[in-house]
Structure 1
Amino acid sequence: MYRERPSTIAHAVVWSSTVTSAEEHRVLPDGCLDLLWAHGRLTVAGPDTVAHLASWRPGTPFVGLRLAAGVGPRVLGLPAHELRDQRVRLDTLWPGAEVRRLSERLAEAPDPGALLEAIAERRLGDAPPADPVVERVASRLGQGAAVGAVAREVGLSARQLHRRSLDAFGYGPKTLARILRLNRALELGRSGTPAADAAYAAGYADQAHLSREARSLTGVTITTLVA
């Protein structure tokens, strides 16, 4: 069973999931970094460029803090592109003794999700302030704005926007725009919007264009994703 709630941290979501049978789960790219607690370990899931297939054992609880809009690099203390398409143990990024203490606290916590939030909030308190340009880029690309138009809005050259996007999101603005557009189409499809209408509303040329992008980014059809 999967549950999520808005975090007390801006642009973040706390989620949890427990599966009842062994299964392979398709994690779709979404432009986010996740701080994960599972199997007694703290792990970081980097920003994916394509769907990631994860094997989950029955009865294993997962708790995560999903960090969007460039928040993840501020929590972790390193550029997002260094974690692109990776799953990394947190003790390879932070001091081992600190991670062991956090793991002990999480193992005893009645609400691990709230503790993950507290850990991230403490790190954000020591990090540089949020970059309004990064937040604007994520917002406008998420709304379907063209990359060139976004660059002009925030006063960056194409090269500057690409570099800032690599650090904040893990990939360039064109890749981020493709991922966010597919997620918009999926939200529409899962709410009952016909595929052709969802494709048009999300900014695709037609339904065939949406189908090609879905296969390219996730390896399966849009029908399978919506179902």
Structure 2
Amino acid sequence: MYRERPSALPGAAVWTKSPEPAPRPVLPDGCTDLIWYDGRLLVAGPDTRAHLPHSPERAPEAPVVGLRFAPGQGPAVFGVPADELRDLRVPLTDLWPAAQVRRLADELAEATAPGRALEAAAVGRLRTGAAPDPARGLIARAAARGTPVGELAEAVGVGERQLRRRCLAAFGYGPKTLGRVLRLVRALDLARSGMPYAQVAAAAGYADQAHLAREVKALAGAPLGTVLAPG
């Protein structure tokens, strides 16, 4: 069973997932995650395609706990550009000092609310690290609406090449891919609400239902009905 709650970090969410023998694919959402899993701390980078988690030889005893950052927020916590983590799952020790990771792991092992410990660690990193791109919210909202790259660059006040560099660093994608991913997130949210697929396509900015179907298959790796099927 999957549950999530809003985080104290604006736009972020804390989630928990019960152990499962056959994990469902994780779909692209433009986000990075800090994950506490079977005594390990992992970082999930922004995906460009559906990611099938590795099925462990034995089921972990405790739920998986994660902190999902808002699009563009993670690089300031992890200390590396988002495109260096694209489509990857890496140990947190690859990004943070080993001693810091050990302290956090020890704290999580004893915590009754691991999600709050993850939030506190992220807040600490944000206080001492580089600030997130101040235009990340504007970029994400405009990209999700399908704003042309030239118009988006003008809104941010940079050229198209610099916009691409900033998007790669903040989100892990160029502006066009970012728009595709965020539009998929919106479409799936609408479809899960019960909205008919044709209306979903129109509301999310697709040309038609066939366009929606192609994009879901390309990014999620399965037809829309399969993606929405309960686990």
Give the TM interval when normalised to the shorter protein. over 0.9
RMSD of Structure 2 on Structure 1 (CA) = 1.4
Matched residue, 1:108: 110
Distance 1:130 1:94, change over 3 A: closer
Matched residue, 1:31: 30
Unaligned 5+ segments in structure 1 are: none
Secondary structure of 2:53 counterpart: strand
Write the distance in 1 (CA, Å) between the matches of 2:23 and 2:125. Answer: 33
Write the distance in 2 (CA, Å) between the matches of 1:11 and 1:69. Answer: 8
> 2:166 pairs with 143, 164, 167, which one?
164
Matched residue, 1:61: 63
> 1:130 pairs with 125, 132, 153, which one?
132
Write the distance in 1 (CA, Å) between the matches of 2:98 and 2:171. Answer: 26
Cα deviation for residue 190 of structure 1 reads 0.6
Matched residue, 1:193: 195
* Identity rate, percent: 56
Write the distance in 2 (CA, Å) between the matches of 1:59 and 1:103. Answer: 16
Cα deviation for residue 132 of structure 1 reads 2.1
Q: Deviations over 1:14-57 (max 9, x none)?
A: 111103x4113110000000000011000000000000001453
Cα deviation for residue 142 of structure 1 reads 2.8
Contact preservation (8 Å) 2:32, 2:71: no
Write the distance in 1 (CA, Å) between the matches of 2:213 and 2:175. Answer: 21
Q: Deviations over 1:153-209 (max 9, x none)?
A: 111211111000000001101001000111111111110111111011111111111
Write the distance in 2 (CA, Å) between the matches of 1:138 and 1:60. Answer: 34
Write the distance in 2 (CA, Å) between the matches of 1:114 and 1:29. Answer: 25
Secondary structure of 1:26 counterpart: coil
Matched residue, 2:16: 16
Q: Deviations over 1:58-93 (max 9, x none)?
A: 654100000123110000111011111000001121
Comparing both structures, which one devotes a greater share of its residues to strand? 1
* Equivalent position amino acid for 1:134 in 2: R
Counterpart check, 1:47 vs 2:49: no
Instruction: Give the alignment's TM-score, normalised by structure 1.
Output: 0.95
Distance 1:12 1:161, change over 3 A: same
Matched residue, 2:76: 74
Matched residue, 1:147: 149
Unaligned 5+ segments in structure 2 are: none
* Equivalent position amino acid for 2:44 in 1: A
Contact preservation (8 Å) 1:18, 1:58: no
Contact preservation (8 Å) 2:14, 2:68: yes
Instruction: Give the alignment's TM-score, normalised by structure 2.
Output: 0.93
Matched residue, 1:2: 2
